Amino acid sequence: MHIMEGFLPHPWWEIWFAVSIVVVILGVYKLKKLTERFPEAKPLLAVMGAFVFVLSALKLPSVTGSCSHPTGSGLAAVVLGPAIASVLSAIVLLFQALLLAHGGLTTLGANIFSMGIVGPFVGYGLWVASKKVRLPTSVGVFLAVALADLSTYVTTSVQLALAFPSTSFMDSFITFGSIFAVTQIPLAIGEGILAIFLFDFLVKYKGKLLSAMNVIGLRVGLQSQEDAK
């Protein structure tokens, strides 16, 4: 989600930035703790960062002045936790705004909030719930990633409706949401399917690490490592 490709009016850009920076700071703390405890997780961080960057750069025109795209942050939340996913999203969004003319500085806080906070926390919550009710791993990953993507764009619609209301907030929200839905629902489904394949790959080759990080069960991690040999 990139609101208005470079412009968000006062006071909304300040509000979203203030809210987002708190979570990003928490994520930096969590990231430091993770790398101290699991130094071998650094390549995993790089893979997840690249995944977020590549997917979020694949944009399709949507609302005038905005765009739709996969986010990648849902899978990052499943693997690394939502706070760390927020940090990766913030880095990606800042890089895109400064060097790729994708998004903008006044929209940065709003973009981080929707793609890097709401999406990851929704996705992570669904992932935890899927493990508690013992859904198949592939189903849990798909639901977490697809609904993280969709929740990002529900939030985007709220942000746009607040910043650019027409007759009323609800009218604007319905307008923005319905336009986003045309492109975002199939994108979310596609991202969920892609995430299943990448997650299976990570489990196969990094099963012990993911088990130690409590992403998957120990038995699954050990079995996957054996299968990879």
Does residue 156 contact residue 175 with C-beta atoms inside 8 Å?
no
pLDDT single digits (tens) 90-132: 999 999 888 876 667 888 999 999 999 999 999 999 999 999 9
Distance, CA of 161 to CA of 163 (rounded, Å): 6
How much is the pLDDT for 229?
55
How much is the pLDDT for 176?
82
Q: Which residues of the chain have pLDDT under 50?
A: 1-4, 64-65, 221-222
User: Which residue do the tokens 């998004």 mark?
Assistant: 103
How much is the pLDDT for 1?
47
Prediction pTM value = 0.88
Cis, bond preceding 11 (omega within 30 deg of 0):
yes
Enumerate domains of the chain plus CATH numbers.
Answer: 3-228 (1.10.1760.20)
How much is the pLDDT for 64?
45
3-state helix, strand, coil in the chain (%, to 5): 80, 0, 20
Q: Which residues, in sequence order, are bridge partners of residue 67?
A: 61
